[in-house]
Amino acid sequence: MAKKSPFVGAYHHDEVDSAEDLAILPDRKFCFALSDGTEDHLTAGRWKPTEHGIVLEEVKMPSNGIFAGVVPHWQSQEESSGPVSVNFLFDGQSLGGQGTFVFGFSEDETLPKEMRPVFTATANELSGQYALPPVTDSVKSFFIAYREHPEGPRTRSRMYRVLQFHLPEVKPPAELNDPTARLVSMDIAIGFDSESVQPPLHFNSEIKDGVLFVDGAKFGDRQELPDEMKADSPECTKLIEQAEKKVSTEPELMEDGSLQLKPVRSFDQELHLEAAKPYFTAPSDDKTAK
């Protein structure tokens, strides 16, 4: 029988405005919970022995930070006519002030000739959603591009990482209970989740006299894993399985009924945008692009 690691156990650490709980599990996994009074953050990963202790490494789902949520709108055929309109909506708070996000859409798989910055680089303190005029032409793909090295040499700063998304095929929800329902519009809300692109947590840990030190700082006394924590650990370590799954390109149905789109491909492309006018140049009560 393998010897139990002296690190396996439960640890608690209090800060002025937050509380942290760490469970180091015998199967070389760990769960880390942070509560800041407004919301809880749960992290899972693996640990491995080192010469002086163990290292904790978060297992994190790969992410480019871009999220695109789709909400379709339906009407009875008797109440609607004309082409389906596509409404692109940009989250001002997460995208504004970045100055590096570029957008365009296409009727096929090709990168559109017109790619424009979403916001000017000097636009900040934005809030709410900023909307392009409704698009009634055929749209199959839209593209979001961002600079991975915006501060690099000029030639390098022209190189963008481009993400391509497909407009999804949607069906009327069963609860609509209208066989004549027709898709009349589709809202596509685009934003940026900066937290998802942060590097994974990486902690060097050691025990001294039954006290866990993380990156040299005292964390907390070791306690035996309580039964409640043992029972909850599979729910936490499930995050590891989800992160290591092959990333799907299929839209994901969310609890609110919207669809979360996944990029169908990503590639690097040099873009010359010196003369391209941003869709939105400043905070305004009028949040529709001209």
Superfamily of domain 9-60+200-244: YedD-like protein (2.40.128.500)
pLDDT of residue 290: 57
The model's pTM is 0.76
Per-chain mean pLDDT for the chain: 86
pLDDT of residue 124: 64
Output the DSSP codes for the chain.
Answer: -PPPPTT-EEEEEE-SS-EEEEEE-TTSEEEEEEE-SS-EEEEEEEEEE-SSSEEEEE------SEEEEEEEEEEETTT--SPPEEEEEEEHHHHTTT---EEEEESSSSPPS--EESB-TT--S--SEEEPPPB-S---EEEEEEES-TTS-HHHHTEEEEEEEEPPP----GGG--TTEEEEEEEEEEEE-GGGGSPPPEEEEEEETTEEEETTEEEEE-BPPPHHHHHHHHHHHHHHHHHHSPPP-S-EE-TTS-EE---SEEEEEE---TTPPPSB-S--S--B--
Query: What is the tens place of the pLDDT at every residue in 49-106?
Result: 999 899 999 998 888 889 999 999 998 877 767 889 999 999 988 887 555 799 999 9
Where are the domain boundaries for CATH 2.40.128.500 in the chain? 9-60+200-244
More confident residue, 76 or 149: 76
